[in-house]
Structure 1
Amino acid sequence: MTGPVVGEDGLARCPWAAGPGEMRDYHDHEWGRPIVGDAAWFERLSLEAFQSGLSWATILRKRPAFRAAFDAFDPERVAGYDETDVVRLMGDAGIVRNRAKVLAAITNARALVALREAQGADSLERLVREHAPPVAPAPHDTEQQQTTSPESVALSKALKKRGFTFVGPTTMFALMEATGVFDPHLVGCHRRG
């Protein structure tokens, strides 16, 4: 078990962000902060699905290529993708070339467009935020950190019911952490609170 780690700059951080670089920048400036807009939510949902089974550092390094390949994660544009686009994406060495995950991104764009048509703008954000835990976790070390919760299980079911795929409870827990649905930082991390 590991608690917050103090970096060379004197700041305590979650252990995965202890050293300088891309992961630290992500930790300090993005992880656990709210996002706004359907494209931002669709991007995070998609990238969390692509990350499944891989390291977040890999996805973060490839994020600019993902953004270019998926039209800046514009849900309407991605919802209109066809087999030609799937072939294009599968040939793009800059992204994770996993056919099931590529198809999931397209399916999820279509599900998001349908959700928005039925419930209005920002409906994905509202749905995710409705599943926020009543009491945010407050882990002191990595041993106490969760990877799922009753809320992430319920969110997974709610999204699947609406046609989304690759939205399992662990992926949804990571999405809620990343988007600031609750504060994911360890107690003692300078970003906590």
Structure 2
Amino acid sequence: KNDLTPPRLAWDPHSVHAVCATAGNYIEISDWRVDTSIPTGTAASFKAHKHGVVDVDYNPNKPNILATAGVDGLLKFWDLRNHRKPLLTARGGHAHYAWNVQYNPFHDQLVLSSGTDSAVNLWRISTISSSPLLTIADEGNQEQSETSAANVRVARYEHADSVYGMTWSSSDAWVYATLGYDGKVALNHVPSKEKYKILL
């Protein structure tokens, strides 16, 4: 158990029976259809991060896909049907705790993360999304592979202090807000180039 990270919950948007909870270094999936007389009371449990899981979020458009943020500063993406190793690990986004992770509720290629290092990252994670993206190569990067272009950090913003809250707009798929420890709220939007990759 890691006492530094408070537990977080995420309800599976594809099942009324499943809830995911963080528990120290582990993810525990509870399914209300599982026999409650079982001592563990969980349908699945697995170690997700070495030093503690801080946040979880289900992919809103693709069943069985879960994102986690950890004390190690990493984001990991899991297929709950085979959770021996992550489908993808996003590195280099945070120098300290990755405190939040959240899928865009409309376009699951877009994922936000924020951390205690004051960073807010917007990621494009399209290889495991419900819809592939059009890859538009930048000038000078024509040789960039499809896979590496599909899973990248597309924007980084910084607060003056740790970032402990963030949310996507419920009415505009391209706008999100973040909240720093100092109480300041910042509004940002997805860059136009990323919108076109999703919409075209």
Q: Same fold (TM over 0.5)?
A: no
Q: Which has the higher strand share?
A: 2
Q: Which has the higher helix share?
A: 1
Indicate the structure whose relative CO is greater, using CA pairs within 8 Å and at least 6 residues apart: 1
